[in-house]
Amino acid sequence: MFGERYFATRQKLGAVVHDARELARNLGVELNGFSEESELLQGLENPFLFVVSGEVNAGKSTLINGLFGEELCSVNVLPETQRVLWYRYGEDEHDDEITEILEERYRPIEFLRDFNIVDTPGTNSVVRGHQAITESFLPVADLVLFVFPVSNPWGAATWDFIARFPEELRGKVAFVLQQKDLRDDNELAIIMEHMRELARQKMGETPDVFAVSGKQAMQAKLRRPFEDKIWKSSGYPELEAFISRIVTSSPSRRQVLRDVRDATSRALRRIEDQIDSSSRTVERKTRVLRDLENEIDHQRDAYGSEFEEKLQALGGVFVAEGEKSLDLLRKRVALWPSLLSLFRRDESPAEIERSLSSTLEGAIGEMTEGEAEELRKLCGKHWEHTAPRIKEEIELDPPKVDGGDVNQSGAREHFVRRMARAARQSVVKLKLRGLLEMQLDSRRSVLQRFVVGTLVSLSIGGALGAAGLHPYSWLAVSFAIVLGTLGVVQAQWSGAELVKWFGERIQRSQEAFADMLSSEYREGVRDYFKEYAVLFEKVRRELLKTKAEIKPRQEEWNELFLELKAIEQEL
């Protein structure tokens, strides 16, 4: 088809226009005067208008059919075209009578999308008004083909018509000498030279002159396979090459391309401004979010700076609850329980450990209840001024607390349970039970020796008394009483020493207990703030989503910009 280069450029420009409008719509950018209905974009799609003129039966319809390889126009020996016929593209074939002498014919033929054909009834037509309508198409035509029959190319009507409109025809007219197969090359050359000379006299310029045979062109195009020899002989290759040059180099059409290109460039600049503005807005909102998150870090660090005091408080709780376990130990090392422990398994260390674990679990839990409440108030106070900033500066609805995006009540309960569980585990890690069992076993061994010695002495005294050796009997009994008394004293003294040792052990273990509990405390506080910081994750996700939407649009803009630059090079 004619002007493939031009149409390729127009198609690429049209695609850039379409994509730019879609991108603008997605970004909410108003492109005034750049809609599909705008005169500018409508001009881009306007088909080329070819006007074919000449005297009656000059071969105009045959020329048109040969150009497009379609039986578009009726051909007959008698004058076939009684009206001015305007061939246009239409999905359905139909004819519209505009006036008595002008008819629009719509045909579903693809080349009519880009080329409209005006087939005139002839410059020497006797029908009133034909000439006036033909003249009205000249100013807007892209190419006017004057068709002359080789049998008589000197018809006065056509040459008079040409002489009246030299300015309207300047730069967009060509002469076509039909039925070249009826003359030899020498005759054709003479005729064509005379036509050029006459054109210089009538128009002031020399148009291109082509000798063709529409009949041969149709034969070549309709044959299968294509008949190349007949096609070249028809003279149409030179004519079609000329038409392609006209289409490609048309100043008015290229100016339309430039105008659309400039409008598209302006549209892309507005789109770029919107993309840049959106990017800056996202960056600004991201900085606001980062500031809010930094505030959380400062809050956490400030809370952690008071940790030494809280660490001492944890050790104090351990000592206080350890003192309570000393009371239980005193009862277990009293005289009678000590005597009973010599004859059965002593569960005192396990009971003391359970008691200490239980009391510490309760005490630490109660203490961390207050800590958790303090954390809740701290985060709540921070959220009171953070939520309005999210709404005003980041322009998003703030996430909901408790029953919404973050369950602070659940985080608070988790923190308390975690610390209580850590207190119980820390008591076990101190191994107080094992150390106490060792001390009790050692004490029990000593007391057992006193008991055994006392019982052996009493047995010997009884045996000596039964044998009548009373002085020796009383001596053995006296020794048993002394041993028993010493055993009681030993039991009381060692019990007091054991209680004292355990108390000192509790004092020495408070730092270790506090250290073991401190890591859980730090993790618990960190997790609490992490749970609170989840509120900002939803905001961050929305910002990342917006940023992710901007990136492909920026890439699309870059592609459109490069494509438009390539089109500028072609223009």
pLDDT tens digits, 192-238: 999 999 988 888 888 999 999 988 888 888 887 878 888 899 999 99
Please determine, for residue 283, whether its predicted confidence score (pLDDT) is greater than 70.
yes
pLDDT at 115 > cutoff 80: yes
- Condensed to tens digits (0 to 9), the pLDDT of residues 529-541 reads 887 787 888 888 8
Q: Is residue 402 left, alpha or beta, with left meaning phi > 0 and alpha meaning psi from -120 to 50? A: left
**420 vs 107 pLDDT, higher one:** 107
Of 322, 351, 348, 321, which is closest to residue 334 (Cα–Cα)? 348
Q: Give the integer Cα–Cα distance in Å for 118 and 140.
A: 12
Torsion of CA 366, 369, 374, 375, to 10 degrees: 140
How many CB atoms are located within 10 Å of the residue 122 CB?
Answer: 24
- pLDDT tens track for 401-431: 655 555 667 777 888 888 888 888 888 888 8
Is the per-residue pLDDT at 128 higher than 60? no
What does the pLDDT read at residue 77? 42
Nearest by Cα to 122 from 99, 143, 101:
101
Between CA 568 and CA 570 the distance in angstroms is: 5
CA angle 34, 36, 40 (to 5 degrees): 55
Measure Cα distances from 374 to 238, 263, 525, 531 in Å: 94, 63, 11, 15
pLDDT of residue 542 exceeding 70, the answer is yes
Joined tokens for residue 12: 């690429």
530/411 Cα distance (integer angstroms) = 10
Pair 173, 166: CB distance under 8 Å = no
Who wins on pLDDT, 134 or 162?
162
Determine which helix (DSSP H) or strand (DSSP E) holds 49, and give its type and residue range: strand 48-54
- Residue 310 above 70 pLDDT? no
CA torsion sign for 279, 285, 287, 293 is: negative
User: In the block, which residue shows the tokens 């730092």?
Assistant: 511
| Residue 123 near residue 162, CB atoms below 8 Å | no
> Each residue of 35-64: pLDDT tens digit?
766 777 777 888 899 999 888 778 888 888
| DSSP helix/strand/coil, 1 | coil
Q: Which long-range contacts (CB under 8 A, 24 or more apart) does 524-527 make?
A: 524/368, 524/415, 524/418, 524/419, 525/300, 525/303, 525/304, 525/375, 525/415, 526/300, 527/411, 527/414, 527/415, 527/418
Note the pLDDT tens digit of each residue in 357-392.
888 778 777 777 877 778 878 888 888 888 888 888
Mean pLDDT on 104-112: 89
Helix (H, G, I), strand (E, B) or coil at 321: helix
Looking at the predicted structure, is the pLDDT value of residue 1 above 70? no
What is the token pair recorded at 178? 């039909």
* Closest to 55 in 3D by CA, of 169, 147, 138: 147
- Helical H runs in 394-469? 408-430, 432-466
Q: Determine the length of the chain.
A: 571
Would you say 13 and 254 are in contact if contact means Cβ atoms under 8 Å apart?
Answer: no
pTM of full prediction above 0.85: no
* 141: pLDDT strictly greater than 70: yes
Residue 79, pLDDT > 70, answer no
Tell which residue, 268, 255, 252, has the closest CA to residue 565: 268
Q: How many CB atoms lie within 10 A of CB 492?
A: 14
Question: Rounded mean pLDDT of 387-401?
Answer: 84
Which residue is it, tokens 């879609």? 22
**pLDDT beyond 80 at 302:** no
Q: For the chain, first and last CA: distance in Å?
A: 20
Q: Does residue 247 register a pLDDT over 90?
A: no
What pLDDT shows up at residue 467? 80
The Cα–Cα gap between 349 and 324 comes to 14
* Percent with pLDDT over 90 in the chain: 12
* H or E element at residue 121: none
